[in-house]
Structure 1
Amino acid sequence: MPTRQTRLRGRHLLADPALNKGTAFSPRERRELGLEGLLPEAVETLETQVARAWACFGGLGSDLEKFRFAQALRRTNSTLFHRFLADHIDDLLPIVYTPTVGAAIQRFSLDHQSPSGGVYLACSDQPRLEGVLRQAAAGGAVDLILVTDAEGILGIGDQGIGGIEICLGKLAVYTLCAGFDPQRLLPVVLDVGTNRQSLIDDPLYPGCRQPRLQGSAYDAFIAAFVAAVQAVFPGALLHWEDFGVANAHRNLATYRHQLPSFNDDIQGTRGVACAVVLAASRGAGVPVEDHRIVVFGAGTAGCGIAEGLVRLLQRSGLSEQRARGRLWLIDREGLLLEGQTIASPLAARFARSTEEVSGFERDADGRIGLLEVVSQVRPTVLIGTSTVAGAFSRAVVERMAAAVEKPIILPLSNPTQLAEATPADLLAWTGGRALVATGSPFAPVLVDGLERRIGQCNNCFLYPGLGFAAVAVGAREVSEAMVDAALEALAERIPGSSDPTAPLMPTLAEVGSVARAVAEAVAKAAVNEGLARLAATPAEAIERLDQASWEPVYGAVEAV
């Protein structure tokens, strides 16, 4: 770790989370940096500080208390925070990221403290966004901006500027899993208003208490933001997060070729789901091209997954038309059908003709529901992105399992209470035959006297390595081939790809090595496509990954 120089002294230095080492400052550093009298006598190691944090963390009651403790640590000592996460990943990741971050976002108006570490860009800032971004970066280099407008948070919808918490959480995961330097990451929330009336009426809500920008006004604000990013941070990766369905797809399509740009809800969720389907297919001995797939939930995630599966089926030898014919999408109005009013153009591409479903039974409102689709289609894969708790009922699952030897069932909605089914029920209703992965963490399930760990389709297994590689090699854009390379690398690391009784995701303890495998595959793909500005060969790409990696260890701090 190189020596860091600073003009800060005393309390001002201790207030800088990037430089603060707390009790780990050496006697010499304390003298030269004006810290004498501000710290206890003992000079401690980072390991001792982590042990103290862990002891305190273990004494806390609720997950929200633990979340607040972790955030306080992040605001005061960045190195200690990230080392604490790394040493206790199984316990900390569900706290700083999903599912606990969802509850924290809902309490943002009550719990917000400044400074939070986030950047808040309001509609009124539009004429001066470039200057505001420069000020927020404080002269530091930025490699990645994680931005949200918080319209579609974690299955809980519009949360206003509380969405900054998901940005902070996901950036912590970037560092934890892939080795990003946290000082080169920027969390941004675009405060374009909120359509949640309870926030508008709340005198404690610190954001813009007005309805969301719509139409051309919204698009103009996004265009101004992207232009400011390009001017202030040329070459930086822009990670879009938790935008509403229509805006998410339109923003990605508009800007993905203008600057390195990636949407985790669309491409990350889709990549992880496709990796699981690919691995489960290999484990079950079923060719990918033979699958019949039902996706319950036609929002951002569901449509993104469906498009990814089309690509996966095409790479297996099917034409695009035949690949799309293998997918059946269902939303709140039932099976998507031609002639319906379908808000998302992407979802409309999966609408079935009335002739195809002439033999399907409809309910009193003319809709074709999930049970009827499962009965008629006899799917081999059932994916849930609906946030409709319990949607995969016993009747649905037993009907599916009656026609398929090893049904692949992925209830991916989160938080946990919104999952379409529990793994315990899915395995019980299929006699232990189902290949199951979930979107939220679940406890292991006992099957025939043996404990079966349930794989969590956590995007942390894909997006950190993908983003890290794109930045390290200076990718001009994030191409579909790079996403394909990421999901293929992940699929190879999934235990269930060789054993149908094994989990359909690695353990969280393996997330660092998985992220590295993903990063190497993505970096090489960028080189092969001619998109890497900083690497001309695969060997140079790997070298760039090594050079860019950051670790949470203390270095010397020197007064200047």
Structure 2
Amino acid sequence: MVSKSSQLRRAVVLGCGGERKVWALLERRTMMNGVEKTNGEDLATEEQLITPWTVSVASGYTLLRDPRHNKGLAFTVDERDAHYLRGLLPPALMTQELQEKKLMHNLRQYEVPLQRYMAMMDLQERNERLFYKLLIDNVEELLPVVYTPTVGEACQKYGTIFRRPQGLYISLKEKGKILEVLKNWPESNIQVIVVTDGERILGLGDLGCQGMGIPVGKLSLYTALGGLRPSACLPVTIDVGTNNEKLLNDEFYIGLRQRRATGQEYAELLEEFMTAVKKNYGEKVLVQFEDFANHNAFELLEKYSPTHLVFNDDIQGTASVVLAGLLAALKLVGGALADHRFLFLGAGEAGTGIAELIALEISKQTKAPLEETRKKIWLVDSKGLIVSSRKESLQHFKKPWAHDHEPVKGLLDAVKAIKPTVLIGSSGVGKTFTKEVVEAMTSINEKPLILALSNPTSQSECTAEEAYTWSKGRAIFASGSPFDPVEYNRKVFVPGQANNAYIFPGFGLGLIMSGAIRVHDDMLLAASEALAAQVKQENFDKGLIYPPFSNIRNISANIAAKVAAKAYELGLASRLPRPKDLVKYAESCMYSPVYRSYR
């Protein structure tokens, strides 16, 4: 009698109908069994546990059009014979390394960044492993292509460049059917979901359904930088309409043509989504909120933090990466964190999130109450310095920052009044750190620390060149989007990038590999401290307060280890027993994009 496993394998080899689906069933069964026999992991390391002889691959034409398993000209002669590929490919054989070299040569021929973005997206849809190999090996060059700043332009033009769906679109039309929609996605073992409603894409505003570029880009980095399997990642766009008139009148717009739903209708759709996610994927699926408008971002995080594993990258991820930069910068400016005064331009989700994490870290270091440590931090919004006399009219997330002080209107006056040692921009408004503001910071501090965090580059509060020039080379500068090195007074300054990509991939990996069921602020502090510890003296010598991205996978493994350790310490980890060496364990969990050999 032939076993069911043998029947499945024979069906695949014979190339009968539904071959990809049958192959997927066989692969998942093999992986799950292999995992259960070893260490009880549920998919974090399944790729590494497959032995080459356990997987049978579907035949020729189908195989070449399956991005997860296609290798193009890297298929060997034996593989071409075994899998009916002879004649479907030119006779030349090409290694993955040579394919990579050719693609980088082609990408560098494009002068327009959006063309590079589209070429990378085409590669991802054609050959998944080669896409990630290319991104990992050339991360410093390609990160600005697949992520900020180019992803912002891609979202603005998403309707025009849209070719095939790369995630799930859940609109108001799916209300009452969201669980069914989730089941339409071909993967059932999802570990992380990145979701947006497109209302506040970077500093570009409401892009509606076209915000899908953000979850797609973030999850590409989860795999490339944090090592999560591509099949475990799900990009989602919640489409409740858009208030962007240009998009509503655009014949190529791909979303709902209506004004944004708000209030109860919006809340009910998000509640159904969050409930369906937990029901379909379990307690340990990480839901990362991206680019929600301030009012929704804070409410969603507050509402679902007690019941789901949720993380808001704009609030918490930005805060963690900025705190890491500040902790590292202490080696250049001196003193402890508690010795400094912080002034923010921007009091939205990023600004208040960063401010709160700084206050938490100071409280942790000094044992002072949080209410006291917040007084070292001042925020400026569109109406001026946030002070106690404005408290009644402030949104709830701004109220903790309303300190006793006379009203101050503009940023320059606030700098002169508060005399900060650190100036942080999270306003989303470009050119707001003027020459007068930078000069005022320089007159107060020997080494002013200036962070212009708004994205994309056009929205940055000032450029690297402006910061170094106006401060006469004394500023320690970092930005949200990348800037080229600057030469001033015969010295080359290399600006750092306070990029969330330093934090969220490793942070997510730490949650997943520990089986965390909730996110705690102490995990964010642990991530910040782990990143700051990765900055070497050679980086400080160039004025850098962040390590180079070229070492990002090692950085992510160290962050993941610290986050996982904190999850175990807090009793929030469900993956037992705890691995002895969490850094090595994190590295062992990481997806490898190197081609597999097929029998």
Whether the TM-score (by the shorter chain) exceeds 0.5 is yes
Distance 1:440 1:251, change over 3 A: same
Correspondent of 1:180 among 215, 225, 228 = 228
Counterpart among 469, 473, 484 of residue 428 in structure 1: 469
Matched, 1:417 2:454: no
User: What is the CA distance between 1:475 and its match in structure 2?
Assistant: 0.6
Instruction: Show the counterpart of 1:469.
Output: 510
Residue 257 of structure 1 and its aligned partner are, at CA, apart by 2.4
Q: Is residue 106 from structure 1 mapped to residue 147 from structure 2 by the alignment?
A: no
Q: 1:113-134: CA deviations, max 9, x gaps?
A: 12x3211111111211111111
Matched residue SS, 1:91: helix
How many residue pairs were aligned? 546
Measure how far apart 1:496 and its partner are. 7.0
What residue in structure 1 maps to residue 395 of structure 2?
A: 344
> Are residues 1:320 and 2:320 paired?
no
Structure 2 residue matching 1:249: 3-state secondary structure = helix
Counterpart-to-counterpart distance in 2, 1:162 and 1:341: 37
| 1:216 aligned onto 2:264 | yes
- Residues 557, 583 of structure 2: 8 Å contact kept: no
Q: Contact (CA 8 Å) 1:473, 1:544: kept in 2 or not?
A: no
Match for 1:71 among 98, 118, 121? 121
CA displacement 1:471-507 (0-9 Å, x = unmatched): 1111111211111100001111224799475311111
Using structure 2 for the length normalisation, give the TM-score: 0.88
Do residues 374 (structure 1) and 412 (structure 2) align? no
User: SS in structure 1 opposite 2:397?
Assistant: helix
| Counterpart amino acid of residue 329 in structure 2 | A
Aligned match of 2:71: 21
| One-letter identity of the residue aligned with 1:418 | Q
1:9 Cα deviation from its structure 2 partner? 2.8
Q: CA shift at 1:545, angstroms?
A: 2.1
Report how far residue 145 of structure 1 moved: 0.8
CA distance in 2, matches of 1:424, 1:480: 35
The CA deviation at 1:12 is 2.3
Distance 2:320 2:465 in 1: 25
Matches of 1:500 and 1:42 in 2, distance apart? 48
The answer to whether the 8 A contact 2:187-2:231 is kept is no
Alignment partners' CA distance in 2, 1:282 and 1:461: 20
Contact kept in structure 1, 2:539 and 2:545, CA below 8 Å: no
The Cα offsets for residues 364-419 of structure 1, whole Å up to 9 and x where unpaired, read as xxxx1111111111111100011222211111121222122221111111111111
Question: CA 1:26–1:304 in 2, change beyond 3 Å: closer, same or farther?
Answer: same
Q: Deviations over 1:173-232 (max 9, x none)?
A: 111112111111111111111111111122211111111121111111111111111111
Question: Deviation of residue 340 (structure 1)?
Answer: 6.0
Residue 384 of structure 1 aligns with an amino acid whose one-letter code is G
Return the alpha-carbon distance in structure 2 between the equivalents of residues 203 and 288 of structure 1: 52
Give 1:139 deviation, angstroms.
4.2
Deviates more, 1:123-132 or 1:5-14: 5-14
CA 1:139–1:492 in structure 2 vs 1: closer, same or farther (change >3 Å)?
A: closer
Which AA in structure 2 matches 1:78? E
Question: Is the 1:435–1:501 Cα contact (8 Å) retained in structure 2?
Answer: no
Determine what percentage of the aligned residue pairs are the same residue: 36
Take 1:257 and 1:378, find their aligned partners in 2: how far apart are those partners? 39
Secondary structure class of the residue paired with 2:466: helix
Report 1:46-85 matches (<5 A): 46-85=96-135
Q: State yes or no: 1:535 paired with 2:576.
A: yes
Question: 384-393 or 26-35, which moves further after superposition?
Answer: 26-35
Q: 1:502 to 1:399 in 2, by over 3 A?
A: closer
| Residue 119 of structure 1, aligned match among 158, 161, 168 | 168
Deviation of 1:339 after TM superposition, in Å, equals: 3.3
Q: 1:460 aligns with which of 479, 487, 501?
A: 501
Offset from partner CA, 1:433-480 (integer Å, 9 cap, x none): 211111111111224422121111011111110001111111111211
Distance 1:513 1:7, change over 3 A: closer
Q: Distance in 2 between matches of 1:162 and 1:496?
A: 42
Give the Å deviation of 1:420. Answer: 0.9
Q: Which stretch shifts more, 390-399 or 460-469? A: 390-399
Match of 1:151 among 192, 199, 211: 199
What is the one-letter code of the residue matched to 2:204? Answer: I
* RMSD of aligned alpha carbons: 1.9
Which aligned pairs between 1:137-148 and structure 2 lie closer than 5 A? 138-148=186-196
Structure 1, unmatched stretches of 5+, are: 363-367
Specify the code of the residue in structure 2 equivalent to 1:82. Answer: Y
Q: Which residue of 2 aligns with 1:270?
A: 319
Q: Output the amino acid matched with 1:303.
A: T
Q: Is the 8 A contact 2:355 2:377 kept in 1?
A: yes
Residue pairs, 1:391-402, within 5 angstroms: 391-402=432-443
SS of residue matched to 1:209: coil
Matched, 1:297 2:317: no
Separation of aligned partners in 1, 2:489 and 2:169: 52
What's the CA shift for 1:343?
6.0
2:84 corresponds, among 34, 45, 48, to: 34
- Residue 86 of structure 1 and its aligned partner are, at CA, apart by 1.4
Q: Residue 240 of structure 2: which of 192, 203, 211 is its match?
A: 192
Structure 1 segments (4+ residues) deviating >6 Å: none
- Separation (CA, whole Å) in 1 of partners of 2:210 and 2:441: 40
2:295 to 213, 225, 246: 246
Q: Which amino acid aligns with 1:300?
A: E
TM-fit CA distance, 1:544: 4.4
TM-score by length of 1: 0.93
How much does 1:538 deviate? Answer: 5.3
Q: Which runs of 5+ in 2 are unaligned?
A: 1-47
Deviation of residue 6 (structure 1)? 5.1
Asked if the contact 2:429/2:461 (under 8 Å) is kept, the reply is: yes
Displacement of 1:342 in angstroms is 5.1
Query: Displacement, 1:556?
Result: 2.7
For 2:582 and 2:305, the matched residues in 1 are separated by 22
State whether residues 496 and 503 of structure 1, in contact with CA within 8 Å, keep that contact through their aligned partners in structure 2. Answer: no
Contact 2:380 2:411 in 1 (8 A): yes
Does the C-alpha gap of structure 1 residues 129 and 423 become closer, same or farther in structure 2, counting only changes over 3 Å? same
2:88 counterpart SS class = coil
Task: State the match for 1:259 in structure 2.
Answer: 308
* Alpha-carbon offset, residue 57 of structure 1: 1.0
**Distance in structure 2 (CA, Å) of the matches to 1:400 and 1:450:** 21
- Shift in CA distance, 13/295, structure 1 to aligned 2, threshold 3 Å: same
Counterpart secondary structure, 1:210: coil
CA contact (8 A) 1:245 1:344 kept: no
Q: State the one-letter code of the partner of 1:346.
A: F
Q: Does 1:441 align with 2:492?
A: no
